[in-house]
Structure 1
Amino acid sequence: MTLQCLAWKTNHRSFPGLFRNGRKRPSTSVSSRFASLSNKKWKPFDLSIFLLSSNDELTPLPSDELAFMQAGLGKRTVSLDRDLTHVELSRLLQATYPKMVELQDRWLLYKAGGGNGRRKMSAIPLEAEGYTGAMLRKVSGGGKSTLYIVPLQDELDLSPLPASAPEFALMPKASCKHCFAEMPLQMLALHDCKCASHTSPDLKGDVQCPIYGISFPVLLIEEHASHCGQRTEDTTSPERELHPETDDISCEEDVIMWLKSKVDTSKTFELCVSRDNMFERGLKLWKRNKKATPINPLRIKFLGEAGIDTGALRKEFLTTMVSGIEQRLFEGVKSKMPKYSVNDFDEELFRIAGEIFATSIAQGGPAPRFLQRWCYNFLVSGKLSLDQVLDPSLSPLITTVAEASDMTDYIADIMDCGYTGKIDMEHKEHSKVAIGLHVMTKRMPMLQQHREGLDIYGFSQVMQAKTEECRSLFVAGDDESVDSYYITSHLAPVMSERGCNKHHKETQILEHFQDFLHELEVAEPDATSEDITTVPSVMQWITGQAHRHL
């Protein structure tokens, strides 16, 4: 055997792929290899996108994704081609998210950094032709990363959409086992928690409330129970029964029970607000909601929280709204009257304030006990009456005119109030009346609009028929703010057996808590910060509301 044959056999055994049939395999050049790859057909790829509600620099929390999904936003998956243009991408996103039509192409794509939790996002720069399919594939790593759609100048509504909304048209749906309502699978989990019909095997017939003695359908009895259970005192006595007629109203509690009987439980008035800007967002969403009215049971959902409103969230929201309305739309020291604000009147904020006041009284919130007497009299009768008119700017003028011995120095100020009569000591009383009328007449439109809002429950009917019984709900009287005695006197702790060491420690805890409340009372006069802890704020932390229970 020659050396050449021996070498070939050795190479054939070591490299069989290169020496076949006695010949060396032809080598493939690099250029031809890349040419074959370039001719390979480019397949579409799937890209995960997430539509945010506003211009935010951080990714949403995982707990917020369900709230985004219910509002028609959140995460979706789209299929993109290589030759996709920016215009085609915009049309595809509008078809996927119908709410993006409002944006009118005022959006950008963002990409999140690595890590867990809320991550900082950075904008994806546009090419000369805008966003293209090839560019998005490269940026997303072939569809492995989620891209976020961020509105630049708009803010999308996060209120939950009905199950029949077009945003859920392509989602798989299923029917509820108890009420047979059809909805997307993602919404069925939350619906099952509050579906009233699964609490009773019989979906037909009525169930009688043991407190009011009124029969309700099975599907609505749980809704009624959330309001009925808010009463802290014994409600089974005959004198505390629910009175459907105004003739039977004899006290403040009867007024509240009459208003509760006017709540329409056929729908729910649902709001999804943020805790960071609860008052301003609450006013906008209250005015914007068209699916129900405030006469329906109010249900509150805080953005980013998984809690279900069984009464406490509603009380917290109403407490914040009544306090915010007092500071924003009313002026005065202890007793207040509406501010003269044409802008707020044009936006119908005084009507919304009236609706919130009526809803708060009827559904377990605080009463607006800060109005002046003449304001309440106007809400009742629609007529003006000079009864303790206190204006921050003109009340000092009334006092000065009453004590003046010479009216010469006050002629210009009195004439500015619209008085055209003779100004001298003999007509001093006429001047004082003119100043008071000037204060009241320019606020009449605000009070009239406020009166229309209160009438959503037919409240004006009760106020006219039972003026004195309703007065304490509106007029500022004695100081009824929560103090340390009110909290500690209403505590009913379940303690251990008397005489044991555990009972002694529990008593010490209660005493320390009482000392803590007393220290807060001493510090309150010097409190200047909005975030400082006060006795009413402790009350709100415990019960959800900072006022004395109605």
Structure 2
Amino acid sequence: MITELPSGGGGRRELSIIPTDSDGYSTRLLKSVSNNGKNMLFVVPLQEQLSIEPLPFDSVEFAKMPMSNCMKCGRKIPLPLLPVHIEKCKETETESVTDVTVHDDDENVSGATDQPSSPYTDLEQSAQICPICQITFPADVLPYHASMCGEGGRSFSDIESPSTSTKEELPGPLTAQSSTLLSAAWKNENDPQKASRMFCEELLCLSEHCPSLSLLFNQFDTVEEQDSSLISFYKMNSANWSAPFKCRLAGDAAVGKGVNRHILSMMMQKLKTGFALNLGSSTTAPFEGEKNHRVPSACAVLRDSNLFQMAGRMIGHSFLHGGPCLSGLSLPVIILLTGGDADSAASALTLQDCPDIDHRETISLLKKTELTEKEMTRLTDLCLFWDLPVPSSSNQDWLFQQLLSHAVLGRVKCQIKDLRKGIKDAGIWPLLSQRLDSHHIVFSRESVRDITSQVSKGYLYMESGLLLY
């Protein structure tokens, strides 16, 4: 029963009982009689002691709540009350195990041979094996797990084995398993070029019976539509990039490896020149800078669009299937990208690695013995903007290295991390981590005449029986 305190009365006011609706007290009724909460309400119990026993889980009050099955006892529990039930269920389980032990002793004394039935017999019988990760799950949990299995994120196996969570995992559904099945022949080969091809051939052979990755490329689409098709294809999270790769050109009779190489070479060229997409940025090229000194772009829009992980998958996928490599990367970027330390990368920096011409000219002023007032102001502004001390006669060499390191590597740490993650997705990380002499093969120097999508048309038409340059 709920009563309200009427206004007035000089301090001696009697409480008036609020009548109930047909369905009892409702929010609408309490708001109206209390003047939207301005008047004070009192709850008067109708008995000396209110019952504080929890309602059973099958009560009508819980009918509209989402329900979930308890993994221990199999009962349907309201989702908000599930944590409380789990604690009590653990206590009940401990008590039941103790009771069973005593019961076994009693039976042994009396000569009984029947074994007590396990409370988990039904759950064990309903357990099924996930066809992707080969881990056993309850039947009601398996559909939820299967919807996320192979996406490269945390799974139930990560939760069950915390000792492996500290290691940096190799994304991709088959990467970790395939790398353990590779032989040691490519590791013992002296020639790095031959070792790289042996690694790729073994990895492709392990996945030759997997479902193929098919890419339909329409030459009659606009450039924006073509680039969108490439980006959508390489943003797939659950793809096995070592599976057979088949490209087909709509409206063209060319088939085979020539088409694959044409698409891969065009893709590598777009990583340098940019994609024809409107992302709200002045540039859509993941890499910028001079030849042999290209670094990841510091554009936040490209980073937030997850284009660098996609670019890493493109690099690894092209190398794995015999396509052209991404040439012309800066040596410090290659060192960090392949797992090297920051000190080794910083020691390999040069002024040409700085893609911003204005920053490069400002940093180069530290090599001068005397600075004008205007040059000193320019240097001071850049140092303060990057939270570094102002230049002086005693810290010019140190400040030069710090400014150059921040301009080239400091602003693109997240981009390099995403690139490395994409390379791991493609499956070539074991080669890069165990064969350091393969780095110049995967990330080659930029020559005068690189293979582009136009040059690769020769391979394309030779494959189809037509020779055209």
Instruction: Provide TM-score, normalisation by structure 2.
Output: 0.49
Instruction: Provide TM-score, normalisation by structure 1.
Output: 0.42
Relative contact order: is structure 1 or structure 2 higher (C-alpha 8 Å, sep ≥ 6)? 2
